[in-house]
Amino acid sequence: MIWGAEQWILSAYPGRDSICVETGQNIWHMLCEQKEQLVGKHVFARYGDTFPLLIKFIDAHDDLSVQVHPSDELAQKYGEPFGKTEMWYALPSEQGARLYCGLKTQLTPDEYKQMVADKTIINALAEYEVRDGDAFFIPAGRIHAIGSGCQLCEIQQTSDTTYRIYDYDRRDKDGNPRELHTERAAECIDYTVHDDYRAHYTPRTNEPVNIVTCPYFTTNVLQVTEPIVRDYSRLDSFICLICLDGECHLTELENNSQTTITKGELILLSSTTADVRLSGSFRALEVYID
C-alpha cells in the first residue's frame, strides 16, 4: 500500500481469497460446500455464500487517509453489498504512534465540508496515542485515521468500501492526486460526539475477556498461561482464533485432533466445533458471530 503494509489473514473478498492449509481450498469454495456446517445456521441464513468477516494485520509506515465507511443501507444505495463496521486491536507500535477515532468537535455537514476544503478536518478528530492492547470499535459512520507507526489487528465486515476524506495531498503511483469522496462521506458520517472512543475492558488471565459485541462480530481477548477449555457448542457460528503472541496449542476434545498456531497465524474452527482445550503461553483474539 502507499502508506505501508496490509496483510489479509482471513478473507473471502473476491479475488483476495484465503487458502486453507489443510484442504488447499479457498474460503469461498469451503463455504459453498459446507454451508451452515462451516459458518452456522443463522450466519448462513443471513449471509449465504458470502463469508461475513475480513481480518487483517496493518503496519502503517505513513499516515493513512482520514476516512469513513458506509452502513449496509448506504453501501447498497451505491451498489455495494455490505457496509463496513470494524474494530482495531493495537499491537506493539512505534513510540509516539497515534491514531484518530471519532469527532471531538460538534460539526454540521456544511461545517465538515468547509473543514475538508480548508484541509483542517483533522483538527476536529479525537486523537489517541497507541498502546499495546488498546481497542477501538468503529461502527459504520465513525470518521477515523491510522497514524504512522501503528500496528493493528483489524476485524471488519467483508467490504472494501472506503470514503476518503483527506489524504495529506498525496499523489498516487502515477502522480495524480488521490480521489476524495467528500459528498458521500458527508452522507454517512455519524456526527455524534462522544467523550471517549476506546473500547474499554479489564485484562484477565486464563479466561476470555470481551472487547466488542455488535451485530457483525464478537471479539474476546485470551491471555493464557495455563490450559483452559473453551466450550463452543452453544455457538451457532464459526470461530476465529488469531495468535498475537506466543504459541497456542489447540486440541478438539471430541476427536483429539491437535493444531498449533504461532504469532501472526489464524485458525478457523467450524460451527460444529464443541470443546477445545487451549494450552501454551499466548495472547489471542477470539472472534465469532453471536
- Is 195 part of a structural domain of the chain? no
Same-domain pairing of 87 and 226: no
CATH number at residue 164: 2.60.120.10
pLDDT attached to residue 178: 87
* Residue 60, pLDDT above cutoff 90: yes
Spatial contact of 281 and 206, defined as CB atoms under 8 Å apart: no
- Is 196 part of a structural domain of the chain? no
All three cell numbers of 22: 489443510
164 annotated active-site: yes
Same-domain pairing of 65 and 148: yes
Same-domain pairing of 274 and 228: yes
- Is 78 part of a structural domain of the chain? yes
Same-domain pairing of 182 and 222: no
DSSP 157: E
pLDDT attached to residue 171: 85
Q: What is the mean pLDDT of the chain?
A: 96
CA distance 69 to 288: 21
3-class DSSP state of 127: strand
All three cell numbers of 224: 493464557
CA distance 170 to 241: 36
- Is 264 part of a structural domain of the chain? yes
pLDDT attached to residue 173: 81
Confidence of residue 2 (pLDDT cuts 50, 70, 90): confident
Q: Give residue 169's domain range.
A: 4-188
> How many DSSP H helices and E strands does the chain contain?
6, 17
User: Left if phi > 0, otherwise alpha if psi is -120 to 50, otherwise beta: which for 6?
Assistant: beta
End-of-domain residue from the set 158, 188, 218: 188
CA distance 192 to 64: 23
pLDDT attached to residue 175: 85
On the CB side of 168, how many CA atoms lie within 13 Å of its CA? 13
Catalytic residue (choose from 16, 46, 164, 184): 164
Q: For 178-208, write each residue's pLDDT tens digit.
A: 899 999 999 999 999 999 999 999 999 999 9
Amino acid at 150: C
Residue 73 to residues 36, 84, 140, 167: CA-CA distances in angstroms? 25, 11, 10, 26
Furthest C-alpha separation in the chain: 62
Q: H/E element holding 262?
A: strand 257-262
Q: For 135-177, write each residue's pLDDT tens digit.
A: 999 999 999 999 999 999 999 999 999 999 999 998 888 888 8
Overall domain count for the chain: 2
- C-alpha 144: how far from chain center: 13
21 CB-near residues (< 8 Å, 6+ apart): none
